[in-house]
Amino acid sequence: MKKLISITLVLSMILTMCACGAKKDDANSGAANSEAVSSETASSVEVATEAASSEEASSEEAVTETASNDDTAAAEQTEAATDEVIVRKIGVLTMLNMTEEEMVRYRDAMTVALITLHEDGYAEKNYSPVKGPNIAKREIVFYDSMDAMLMALNAGDIGEMMVYDKVGQYLCATDDSLKPRYIVDTEKERNTFANIVLSGNLSNNFAFLMMEDNEALRDEFSSAIKDMKDDGTMDKLVKEQIDTLINGGEAKAISMPEIEGADTIKVAVTGSLPPMDYVAADGTPAGFNTAVLAEISQRIGKNIELVVVDSIGRATALSSGTVDAVFWTRTNEAASAFAEMSEEERAAEAEKNESEMTDEEIEAHRKIGDLLSDFDHYNTADMPEGTICTVPYYSDILMVVLKK
């Protein structure tokens, strides 16, 4: 029964990434943290990866990706024939409350989920693995901007990036040298396992981040967001400002309202999640973030001033009072709801879920649970202490981008 409770806890609460990262000193703001996990962490990760999937160990994720050219592929195959464990470096965007070890274990859990989704027909594998006897060891490299992470991928400093599906689609659409590792069908009717991982483990909700003493403003934003979702405005903005860019179009120009005599709210935007959080070439915020904030401004009757910060700078900008809100933080409603459940309710939910799964899905379900069983802050992994967030305005699943 305790095992079932642990599994449901894991699968109901999500870690947040693609952009993901760990706590970092403010002095390093704006620069990539190139330190990989410690040898002690790497050793534990190797064990976790070995537990991830028997199929992974034989062909799927146990070895490095196919190289971008024949010479590199040959070199990697030679490496795979040695006793040395292959190391795969993964780029992720900084998060505000998550460690390197947690991020590595989350990537391992993500692997198990994607392999099972592939077997169930929800995900199409978009790479050819180089086969070899060695288990890949994952190491995390954190970046404070998408540009820095892309440069590292192009230079070969990292082998892949964890990003969100819409972000990955945008990057692949605007750079012919990139491709998604898996293509997930999010529209297909979901079985129980697919629903758990696509709405939980592989998914994040996005909300506005504020200091906990700013509840009144949080409630104003939340009310406006709920209304925008209910009347179809949010879906309209996603189509106009996100899907349009992915399909090669240009985002519709947006002007921020100027309400005479109204209070001004300062909101930080990062530009680190294009096309969702997008800063134009001239340095001005544009696209979805501007469109959402312009609509909120009109609905709450307050002016909004946009302030550009980097990803790690979100916490400092808030705590210092430089801004009143941050355009995005990653959280999860399911994890918050789960925290309010009793132990008996959690156990019953776990039993019900596994009764609707195949044996293979149950095995994957439990492996994910083992990998993530120690984490108890999925819904606050991108929220520093002393902060609160609005209701979500957007949700997306995580994906992996690599070189062709």
> Do 104 and 23 form a contact (C-beta atoms < 8 A)?
no
Domain that holds residue 125: 2-204+333-376+396-403
Last residue of a domain, one of 276, 295, 330: 330
pTM score: 0.75
The answer to whether residue 40 sits within a structural domain is yes
Last residue of a domain, one of 312, 330, 348: 330
| Residue with more model confidence, 239 or 73 | 239
pLDDT of residue 335: 64
In whole angstroms, give the CA distance from residue 206 to residue 143: 19
In whole angstroms, give the CA distance from residue 179 to residue 110: 18
pLDDT of residue 254: 83
Q: What is the residue-wise DSSP string for 239-305?
A: IIIIIHHHTT--PPP------TT--EEEEEE---BTTTBEE-TTS-EETHHHHHHHHHHHHHT-EEE
In whole angstroms, give the CA distance from residue 366 to residue 369: 5
One domain for residues 44 and 105 = yes
One domain for residues 170 and 251 = no
Nearest to 86 by CA among 49, 136, 51: 136
One domain for residues 18 and 127 = yes
Strands of 122-233, DSSP E = 123-125, 137-143, 160-164, 178-180, 182-184, 203-211
The answer to whether residue 305 sits within a structural domain is yes
pLDDT of residue 334: 67
One domain for residues 321 and 244 = yes
The answer to whether residue 382 sits within a structural domain is no
What is the token pair recorded at 394? Answer: 């957007």
pLDDT of residue 138: 85
Per the structure, the count of domains in the chain is 2
One domain for residues 210 and 298 = yes
| Mean pLDDT, rounded, of the chain | 79
pLDDT band at 130 (very low <50, low <70, confident <90, very high): low
Tell me if the bond preceding 275 is cis, omega within 30° of 0. Answer: yes
> Do 402 and 161 form a contact (C-beta atoms < 8 A)?
yes
One domain for residues 347 and 324 = no
pLDDT of residue 83: 62
Range of weakest confidence among 320-334, 340-354, 367-381: 367-381
Last residue of a domain, one of 330, 356, 387: 330
Q: Does 108 score more than 80 pLDDT?
A: yes
Mean pLDDT across 343-353: 88
| Residue with more model confidence, 74 or 179 | 179
Residue 272 sits in a domain whose CATH number is 3.40.190
9 CB-near residues (< 8 Å, 6+ apart): 338, 346, 369, 373, 376
One domain for residues 62 and 75 = yes
Which residue type occupies 242? I
**Percent of the residues in the chain that have a pLDDT greater than 90, as a whole number:** 47
The answer to whether residue 388 sits within a structural domain is no
Q: Does 142 score more than 50 pLDDT?
A: yes
What is the token pair recorded at 329? Answer: 């933080």
pLDDT band at 358 (very low <50, low <70, confident <90, very high): very high
Q: Give 1's DSSP letter.
A: -
Q: Quick: pLDDT tens for 70-81.
A: 333 444 444 444
One domain for residues 214 and 117 = no
One domain for residues 162 and 151 = yes
Range of weakest confidence among 40-49, 63-72, 139-148, 168-177: 63-72
The answer to whether residue 389 sits within a structural domain is no
One domain for residues 78 and 166 = yes
> Do 336 and 378 form a contact (C-beta atoms < 8 A)?
no
Q: Quick: pLDDT tens for 305-334.
A: 999 988 888 989 999 999 999 998 888 776
Neighbours of 311 (CB within 10 A): 28
pLDDT of residue 172: 95
pLDDT of residue 180: 96
One domain for residues 62 and 191 = yes
Range of weakest confidence among 103-112, 209-218, 249-258, 312-321: 249-258
The answer to whether residue 381 sits within a structural domain is no
What is the token pair recorded at 270? Answer: 């990062």
Nearest to 39 by CA among 107, 82, 78, 85: 85
The answer to whether residue 126 sits within a structural domain is yes
pLDDT band at 5 (very low <50, low <70, confident <90, very high): very low
The answer to whether residue 256 sits within a structural domain is yes
One domain for residues 218 and 150 = no
What is the token pair recorded at 148? Answer: 């820095």
141 CB-near residues (< 8 Å, 6+ apart): 32, 33, 34, 35, 36, 89, 90, 91, 92, 152, 157, 158
Q: Quick: pLDDT tens for 19-68.
A: 334 333 443 443 444 344 333 444 443 444 444 443 343 334 443 333 33
Range of weakest confidence among 16-25, 149-158, 163-172: 16-25
